[in-house]
């Protein structure tokens, strides 16, 4: 998503672990708290302390103790079960009253009161017995009234007394969706698989969609990236190892294959017919294989949402056109289907918006995805396809620096860096450039503010249109008051789009048109 492979499965050893021997990951509560359990050793310590305190309670005259508990330690397991003792130790809460302790406590209190406040003798119980009978009669009356009210409520619920409560338990009154309505979604689960990947550094879990009966399965590129072994689990409980056919990192799609001929392929629908508000379901493996084939329901929130992905240095890497949905999407859903109410695949789940945001997930539209996936099945890659899904960063094809009118600058012509002479004097700047192995230029004093072109890439769109020394004042009417401002305007377009530039050259302003290129690999 682009959240990388979820590390909820241990990397299984080459050829040594069978599916039954591979441990499942521990589940983690949705609120993020780790599961807590006491180890056998800790239970033993708790039991010992409890017995010691019980003994102390027996010896105390007033039956009280100094209560101070200790907590059980966390037993964390990533992909393996915690060790257990062969002899089951009953958990004992420290510092509790036992039955014998309570009797001793009551006896000591009774004895003490008898010595200090002897009660008068009165026949066979006297006043105490009379009070007990009065209390019993009162409680009997209260019970009878309460029981009568309960019987009345039950009769009303059955419709024999009044009609205020509906107890027609056989029907669901408020949910318009019936099992028949989602039969297609349930049927689609047979075409969804769990994908477990082992890499050199660990592993993870994702989801896949069966494309053909003879073993071709679609998933995300980021699910199988850097995989050393891929294991697939099917809805019928069987498992098989898969080989990688190929993938497209730009489109985040991949195809794997298993040696089977009896698979049930999914049915793909035209995602171009999707609309905002349409009911959709995401089927996947969130939080590991223990939650395989989890189904979440939502709607199409946006059609053809443009999603930008960035490089580690903050520069734009590519843009994608995706379906947006509020169906719950979590790590492990990657590669799974987004289906309509008939169980037909309209998208391949790819990512979600992270951080504090919820209900903003994205899926690769099926119409564009099929084009990429079929090319991978045929050629092992998607190089022959002009993808309608993903677009590389658009670029002008220049190297430039921003300069402000009225300032004087010296440029390091080797590094392409400029120095503002309002900050440092010219001689100091030149010495620093020479010291670093650069070549200083003569002072430059631009007449207008903008991006000075210091290099033109002869393989991209700026070739034969822009020249070294040009100052780009505006793009599509937007002033270029910094390099980031210029990039921001260009990033709003796609490679192949034509943009208009205001360029200052040799004392005059020119209006030039340029076709944007895709950022080279």
Which residues have a catalytic role annotated? 222, 252, 334
- Measured distance CA(364)–CA(380) in Å, rounded: 19
What H or E segment, with its residue span, contains residue 302?
strand 294-310
SS3 255: strand
Phi and psi torsions of 454, nearest 5°: -110, -15
SS3 159: coil
Residue for token pair 């008939």: 342
Angle between helices 99-116 and 40-59 (to 10 degrees): 20
- Measured distance CA(513)–CA(461) in Å, rounded: 10
Strands (DSSP E) along 311-357, which ranges? Answer: 316-325, 337-340, 345-352
Tokens at 375, concatenated: 């090319």
- Is 42 in contact with 83 (CB distance < 8 Å)? no
**Which of 248, 211, 273, 486 minimizes the C-alpha distance to 390?**
248
Burial of 435 (0-12, 13-18, 19+ CB in 10 A): exposed
Distances, alpha carbon 468 to alpha carbons 11, 81, 385, in Å: 54, 66, 35
Tokens at 158, concatenated: 């059955």
Burial of 85 (0-12, 13-18, 19+ CB in 10 A): exposed
- Is 389 in contact with 369 (CB distance < 8 Å)? yes
């Amino acid at each position: 998503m682009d959240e990388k492979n979820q590390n909820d499965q241990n990397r299984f050893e080459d050829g040594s672990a069978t599916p039954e021997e591979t441990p499942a990951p521990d589940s983690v509560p949705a609120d993020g708290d780790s599961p807590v359990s006491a180890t056998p050793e800790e239970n033993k310590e708790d039991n010992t302390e409890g017995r010691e305190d019980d003994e102390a309670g027996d010896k105390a005259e007033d039956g009280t103790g100094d209560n101070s508990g200790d907590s059980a330690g966390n037993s964390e397991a990533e992909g393996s079960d915690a060790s257990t003792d062969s002899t089951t130790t009953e958990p004992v809460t420290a510092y509790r009253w036992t039955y014998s302790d309570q009797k001793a406590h009551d006896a000591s209190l009774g004895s003490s009161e008898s010595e200090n406040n002897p009660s008068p003798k009165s026949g066979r119980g006297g006043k105490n017995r009379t009070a007990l009978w009065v209390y019993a009669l009162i409680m009997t009356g209260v019970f009878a009234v309460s029981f009568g009210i309960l019987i009345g409520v039950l009769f009303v619920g059955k419709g024999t007394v009044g009609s205020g409560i509906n107890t027609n338990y056989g029907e669901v009154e408020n949910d318009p969706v019936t099992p028949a309505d989602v039969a297609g979604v349930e049927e689609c689960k047979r075409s969804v698989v769990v994908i477990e990947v082992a890499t050199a550094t660990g592993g993870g879990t994702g989801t896949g969609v069966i494309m053909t009966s003879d073993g071709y399965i679609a998933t995300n590129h980021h699910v199988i990236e850097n995989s050393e072994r891929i294991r697939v689990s099917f809805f019928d409980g069987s498992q098989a190892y898969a080989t990688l056919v190929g993938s497209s990192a730009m489109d985040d799609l991949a195809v794997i294959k298993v040696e089977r001929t009896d698979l049930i392929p999914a049915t793909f629908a035209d995602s171009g017919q999707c609309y905002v508000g349409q009911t959709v379901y995401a089927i996947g493996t969130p939080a590991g294989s223990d939650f395989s084939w989890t189904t979440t329901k939502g709607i199409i929130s946006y059609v053809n949402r443009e999603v930008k992905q960035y490089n580690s240095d903050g520069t734009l890497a590519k843009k994608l056109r995706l379906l947006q949905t509020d169906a719950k999407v979590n790590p492990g859903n990657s590669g799974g289907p987004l289906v309509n109410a008939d169980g037909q695949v309209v998208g391949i789940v790819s990512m979600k918006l992270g951080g504090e945001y919820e209900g903003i997930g994205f899926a690769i539209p099926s119409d564009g995805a099929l084009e990429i996936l079929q090319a991978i099945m045929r050629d092992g890659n998607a190089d022959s396809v002009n993808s309608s899904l993903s677009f590389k960063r658009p670029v002008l094809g220049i190297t430039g620096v921003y300069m402000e009118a009225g300032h004087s600058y010296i440029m390091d012509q080797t590094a392409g860096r400029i120095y503002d002479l309002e900050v440092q004097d010219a001689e100091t700047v030149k010495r620093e450039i020479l010291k670093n192995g650069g070549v200083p230029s003569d002072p430059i004093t631009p007449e207008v503010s903008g991006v000075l072109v210091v290099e033109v890439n002869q393989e991209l769109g700026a070739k034969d249109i822009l020249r070294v020394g040009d100052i780009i004042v505006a793009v599509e009417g937007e002033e270029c008051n910094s390099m980031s401002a210029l990039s921001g305007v260009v990033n709003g377009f796609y490679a192949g789009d034509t943009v208009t530039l205001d360029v200052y050259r040799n004392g005059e302003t020119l209006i030039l048109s340029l076709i944007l290129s895709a950022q080279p690999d």
